[in-house]
Amino acid sequence: MATSRRQFIKISAVGAGSLALAGTAFDLAKGSSLLDKISSSGKKEPVRTPTYCEICFWQCAGWVYKDEDGNIQKIVGNDDDQHCNGRFCPRGTGGVGQYNDEDRLKTPLIRTREGDKESFREASWDEALDYIAGKMRSIAQKHGPECVALFTHGSGGAHFGQMMKAFGSASIAAPSFAQCRGPREVGFLTTFGDIIYSPERIDIRDTRCMVLIGSHLGENMHNGQVQEMSDAIDKGATIITVDPRFSTAAGKSKYWLPIKPATDLALLLSWIHVIIENEWYDKDYVERYTVGFEQLKEHVKPFTPEWAYGITTIDPNVIRETAREMHNASPSVIVNPGRHVTWYGDDTQRLRAVAILTALLGSWGRRGGYYKPEKLHLPSYPVPPFPEPKRSPVQAYEGKYTLANEVVANGLCDATIPTVDRSCNYKAWIVNGTNLLAAFPNQANTLKAIEALELLVVIDTMPVEITGYADVVLPECTYLERYDMLRNSNHRQPNLALRMPAAEPKYNTKPASWMAKELAGKLGLSAWFPWKNIEEMLDWQLKEMGSSLEEMKRIGVKNFPREADDLYFAPGEDVVFNTTSGKIELYSSDMESAGFEPLPVYTAHEEPPEGYYRLNYGRAPMHTFSRTANNPNLTDLMDENVLWVNPKVAKLWGLESGQYVKLKNQDDKVSTFAIKVRVTERIRWDSVYMVHGFGHNNKKLSRAHGRGINDTEMITRVHIDPVMGGTGMRGNFVTFITDFVMEGKEAEA
Amino acid sequence: MRYAMAVDTRKCVGCSDCVVACQTENNVPIGFCRDWVVEVTDGTYPQLEVEIRSERCNHCENSPCVRCCPTGASHYAEGGVVLVTPHKCIGCGACIASCPYDARYPHPDGYVDKCTFCLHNRVEKGLDPACVSVCPTKCMYFGDLDDPNSPVSKVLKTRKYKTLIPEAGTNPQLYFLI
């Protein structure tokens, strides 16, 4: 492939409605007419249609209301929904901004070359899908269908996943595992034989003590968790927050432990030490359900609070006192496993320590600790068996990340770069709803992989950076304009939620369900898409569950009774855990047989060189990743990220709040844009902090372009977790550049 | 009847959901807001406190904005709610200058706009104001102070609270639980 084929193309605004809609594959929101009743006063009742939110992956179910002119006015929570209890978060409330965003992708685009110049040309859907099908067929002939990979985040994954499996590839990966929550799933799987799920199975509403380790609930706006934390505060629960930054949650906490970054595992081991030494663990629980206690006891002997003090800078008395708080609350205590936990490369071990602490406190299977979630057994619409792929995605990283229980996305990315020792190289990527250039650290590596591709298809609603490298861009309509698969989530009660269109797709956009089915048709795979349209498929599924599409259009959410009354363990219940020993494995046989430490061991991580500060990043409650950075309603609340700097550091560098700086990291990577300094006592002097998802460099994102710094760009050093392939991203150090020429929005202003 | 609101600073996380919900409920144009979030940090690392408040019009009993309005557009409505009648407003801005809480803004359509406690579009229909009903932390309590069983009366009976700038003598009806 010529290098030039991957020139980044900035998607232009042409084509806004310039193409006629190629046939109506889409039957608009018939259900809304049902609710469009005339009330007794003769006035029109507001029209509302059910949806579940796609602004983040908590997937709250709600209602979309339209005004008298048929415009979407507001989105509110569905009272029956366990994810949101009738209350949407700011992002969900501002979801209408995604629909209204005039910078949206508007029509299919195909990369063209004229000499050295590359550009996108507008294409019809038929043409774009024909192009993709042609390329996919030729790749299948040359290399095999398993050389096509799907990266996906969000609802479109189910539709394209079906097409991929029918095509003969099982290489389907989401960055939500190895770039996010993977280490906690593996840490708990190896200990309890089960994972945490999303929404998390933590019983915050009834907890008496919650420990947050680097988890910043309240800024991290996972709706149900934030709601339940508030309930717990009302009920007087003790909150212990461990964070180098005085987070919002720290402000709600009885104890804030301002830990030195990258030393959390030492604190956890010390807590385990204190709890065992003082016999503060749940003896009956440990005896009945666990194995490896004696080995653990021996292992943690040296990890006194005084030992941990030297590493974490946390006062030994505070370590003891907080351990006692946990003991006092036991078993209604949650050592929160967090969500984005890919930090330092030994993250599975840190989460193993969280799991061990959880077991000692007896909180797994107990009210106020961890409950057993349940979801519905929802049958899939019958299709022929999928062909057996010749290679599994695991072969892309043969012999590595052996305990990963999901596909490792960065493993597939790495396997796309041709090397002599790799037989399985990916030749095509289908990227749905994930801006991989912001999701994967080490952008240079991602670009190298993209360079090696014969086909890159990107499906998105917005011209995010990854679209600029695509061969074909398929514009999806927003979640407010489409059906998707039913939301079937693990929760206290099994439940289903429906997403249906509140409005017709704007511009020349289509739902992923339609795209995948059409593409499958062109590839001769229609047998795996036997339904006339998605409504028919959803109705079939719902009827299997004793409901119907008709009913769900009226109620939006349906909760079902649990199969058994087993939310918590019964007192003295015999429980068989899904581990090798059938017990909770304090000493992990899985870890041991895979060649890893069976008990977590603290290792010191690299510290910032002089004049550099550890780059920490997190979330803001009004944004999700990089996907909301252009949403008009949400940018109205926050339109750029800022850099938190301790006043001591600011003084040293002569920095003031409001001033813009650029950053340079340990590998001399200089940020594309500048970021506004926020001098605040709320951060340690050895680190700086910014919200993830800003610093977009596509000018066509008119509100997001050049606003703030993209933290991902500064994460050039990645510490891979050998256990499950997680990309540790908090081992990067930055320094300030104050002498530079301003670019982007600020310069224009 | 005396409508009032209490905001629990111990629960508010400053997510700004109240701001967006108000904008979409009341068609507040993007770039303007009737409610907003204030964050106050106190102390030196690591001895810190942060107070987060969702703020809006205080619906004062002794409102400088009503007193100074030359046309009577700013007025007391049912339950002491301070409202602006858009067609009576000449956009002179006297009320904006007089408000100690900076609660008013000039609407692009030429009148002054502010929080209404959602009086006509929600409260009169038995609903809570949009901000109260959306808040994920349930940190806001609304109701009639003359009714001892209203959520706001009940919470003010059991919790410590403060008002903002009491020295202005406006007798604000927005309470902050501390």
Residues 146..175 of B with a Cβ closer than 8 Å to A: which? none
What pLDDT was estimated at residue A44? 57
Token code pair at residue B64: 């400088």
Model-level pTM?
Answer: 0.93
Token code pair at residue A542: 């719902």
Facing residue for B137 by CB, picked from A74, A76, A226? A226
Q: Which residues pair with A242 in a beta bridge?
A: A213, A257
Whether A199-372+572-593 shares its CATH topology with A613-748 is answered no
Token code pair at residue A103: 């910078």
What pLDDT was estimated at residue A30? 36
Looking at residue B50, its amino acid is V
B22–chain A Cβ distance below 8 A for any pair? no
Residue that has been written with the tokens 């803004």 in this structure? B105
Set of chain A residues whose Cβ sits within 8 Å of the Cβ of B135: 87
Please count the other Cβ atoms lying within 10 Å of the Cβ belonging to residue A384. Answer: 10
- Interface test mutation site (partner A, options B17, B34, B121, B158, max chain A beta carbons within 10 A): B17
List the end-to-end C-alpha distance of chain B, in Å, as a whole number: 25
Token code pair at residue B84: 């602006």
Set of chain A residues whose Cβ sits within 8 Å of the Cβ of B46: 246, 256, 258
Where would I find the H helices in A366-442? Answer: 409-414, 436-439
A-B contacts at Cβ under 8 angstroms: 124
Rounded-to-integer distance, Cα A258 and Cα A624, Å: 26
B57 CA: distance to closest CA in chain A (Å): 19
Looking at residue A741, its amino acid is V
Rounded-to-integer distance, Cα A512 and Cα A482, Å: 9
Burial B86-101, CB ≥16 within 10 A → b, else e: eeebeeeebbbebbbb
Assigned fold of B3-177: Alpha-Beta Plaits (3.30.70)
Rounded-to-integer distance, Cα A245 and Cα A259, Å: 9
User: Using CB atoms within 10 A of its CB, is residue B152 exposed (0-12), middle (13-18) or buried (19+)?
Assistant: buried
With an 8 Å Cβ cutoff, are B41 and A221 in contact?
Answer: no
Facing residue for B136 by CB, picked from A89, A94, A682? A89
Assigned fold of A613-748: Barwin-like endoglucanases (2.40.40)
Report the 3 state secondary structure along B87-99: HHCCCCCHHHHHC
Please count the other Cβ atoms lying within 10 Å of the Cβ belonging to residue A10. Answer: 16
Rounded-to-integer distance, Cα A161 and Cα A143, Å: 20
Given CATH 3.40.228.10, say whether it is the number of domain A199-372+572-593.
yes
What pLDDT was estimated at residue A4? 39
With an 8 Å Cβ cutoff, are A646 and B30 in contact?
Answer: no
Rounded-to-integer distance, Cα A455 and Cα A490, Å: 36
What pLDDT was estimated at residue A11? 64
pLDDT digits (tens, 9 = 90+) for A674-717: 999 999 999 999 999 999 999 999 999 999 999 999 999 999 99
Q: How many CA atoms lie within 13 A of A732 on its CB side?
A: 27
B140 CA: distance to closest CA in chain A (Å): 12
DSSP class per residue in A145-157? GGGEEEEE-STHH
Rounded-to-integer distance, Cα A163 and Cα A167, Å: 6
- The interface predicted TM-score (ipTM) is 0.95
- Please report, for residues A113, A336, A366, A381, A489, the alpha-carbon distance to residue A375 in angstroms, rounded to integers and kept in the order given: 50, 22, 19, 18, 6
Question: What values do phi and psi take at B44, rounded to 5?
Answer: -125, 140
What pLDDT was estimated at residue A69? 86
With an 8 Å Cβ cutoff, are A221 and B136 in contact?
Answer: yes
What pLDDT was estimated at residue A423? 65
- Residue spans of the domains in chain A: they are 199-372+572-593, 613-748
Please, which residues have CB within 8 angstroms of residue A292's CB and are 6 or more apart in sequence?
A585, A586, A587, A588, A598, A599
Set of chain A residues whose Cβ sits within 8 Å of the Cβ of B14: 218, 248, 621
Mean pLDDT per 10-residue segment, chain A (749 residues)? 51 42 36 39 70 96 93 96 98 97 98 93 98 98 96 96 98 96 98 96 98 97 97 96 98 98 98 98 98 98 98 98 98 97 98 98 98 97 96 93 96 92 85 95 95 97 96 98 98 98 97 98 98 97 98 98 95 95 98 98 97 98 95 97 98 98 98 98 98 95 96 97 97 96 64
Closest CA to A633 of A72, A94, A57: A94
pLDDT digits (tens, 9 = 90+) for B19-47: 999 999 999 999 999 999 999 999 999 99
Rounded-to-integer distance, Cα A575 and Cα A584, Å: 10
Residue that has been written with the tokens 């927005």 in this structure? B174
CA dihedral sign of residues A396, A402, A408, A414 = negative
Please, which residues have CB within 8 angstroms of residue A138's CB and are 6 or more apart in sequence?
none
Helix (H) or strand (E) holding A720: strand A719-720
What residues of chain B score a pLDDT lower than 70? none
User: Using CB atoms within 10 A of its CB, is residue A635 exposed (0-12), middle (13-18) or buried (19+)?
Assistant: buried
Rounded-to-integer distance, Cα B164 and Cα B176, Å: 8
- Residue spans of the domains in chain B: they are 3-177
Q: Are A252 and A651 in contact (CB under 8 A)?
A: no
Residue of A nearest to B133 (CA): A87
What pLDDT was estimated at residue A6? 56
Residue that has been written with the tokens 């997510």 in this structure? B15
What pLDDT was estimated at residue A708? 97
Set of chain B residues whose Cβ sits within 8 Å of the Cβ of A88: 17, 21, 134, 136
What pLDDT was estimated at residue A31? 38
Query: How far is CA A696 from its chain centroid?
Result: 19
B136–chain A Cβ distance below 8 A for any pair? yes
With an 8 Å Cβ cutoff, are A230 and B138 in contact?
Answer: yes
Residues 74..133 of B with a Cβ closer than 8 Å to A: which? 133
User: Using CB atoms within 10 A of its CB, is residue A457 exposed (0-12), middle (13-18) or buried (19+)?
Assistant: buried
DSSP class per residue in A283-332? HHHHHHHEE-HHHHHHHHTT--HHHHHHHH---HHHHHHHHHHHHHHTTS
Q: Are A356 and A318 in contact (CB under 8 A)?
A: no
pLDDT digits (tens, 9 = 90+) for A250-306: 999 999 999 999 999 999 999 999 999 999 999 999 999 999 999 999 999 999 999
Residue that has been written with the tokens 């004229």 in this structure? A114
Dmax over CA atoms of chain B, in Å, equals: 53
With an 8 Å Cβ cutoff, are B44 and A96 in contact?
Answer: no
Set of chain A residues whose Cβ sits within 8 Å of the Cβ of B38: none
A635 CA: distance to closest CA in chain B (Å): 9
Rounded-to-integer distance, Cα B79 and Cα A62, Å: 32
With an 8 Å Cβ cutoff, are A75 and B24 in contact?
Answer: yes
